[in-house]
Amino acid sequence: MSPQSRSPRQEVKDNDVCVRGRSPHAVRDGLEEVNQAIKEEGLGVVSDVDVQSIMRTKLQEDVAPYRILGACAPALAKRVMDADPDAGALLPCSITVRQIEPDVRGVTFMDPESAFGLAENEAVAEVSREAQAVIEAVLNRLIGGHPVNLTA
């Protein structure tokens, strides 16, 4: 990915599995911002797992704030399931929101093209490209409007 001009506290990285961004917000303060960006791009949050609470309850461990959101665009999900019913196992798209430092939130998105590439189905691949564009738009909103091109 080519570098973009960003504030030193904002960055975007990607790898074969996920797309990551950082912004200067605590999870507690920024979760609503993440939910709003998801909603504004036509996705819905269908699940919200509070990992910090689970670790505290089940393991008596204190971990930094960490949430796993399941995001879904119903029309895209329907097309995936119509093309390959087994590919529904790859839904919804996972997004983690976690505390990296006291005032730095990390947001990680499942890379739709990588995940749906497992289906080896061209119709599913087309949906994954559309989902990738939506993820890019959400990440753009979260890092302050700086352009993101995950395919560069």
**Residues 18-32: pLDDT tens digits?**
677 776 766 766 788
Check pLDDT > 90 for residue 12.
no
Q: Are 112 and 138 in contact (CB under 8 A)?
A: no
CATH of 11-142, one of 3.30.360.10, 3.40.50.1110, 3.30.310.70, 3.40.50.620: 3.30.310.70
For residues 28 and 141, which has the higher predicted lDDT (pLDDT)?
A: 141
Distance between CA 23 and CA 133 in Å, rounded?
Answer: 20
Predicted confidence at residue 140, as pLDDT, reads 84
Ranked by mean pLDDT, the top range of 86-95, 104-113, 136-145 is 86-95
For residues 100 and 50, which has the higher predicted lDDT (pLDDT)?
A: 50
Six token digits for residue 103: 């005032």
pLDDT band at 2 (very low <50, low <70, confident <90, very high): very low
Predicted confidence at residue 29, as pLDDT, reads 66
Q: Where are the domains of the chain?
A: 11-142
Check pLDDT > 90 for residue 144.
no
CA angle 4, 97, 9 (to 5 degrees): 35
Mean pLDDT of the chain: 82
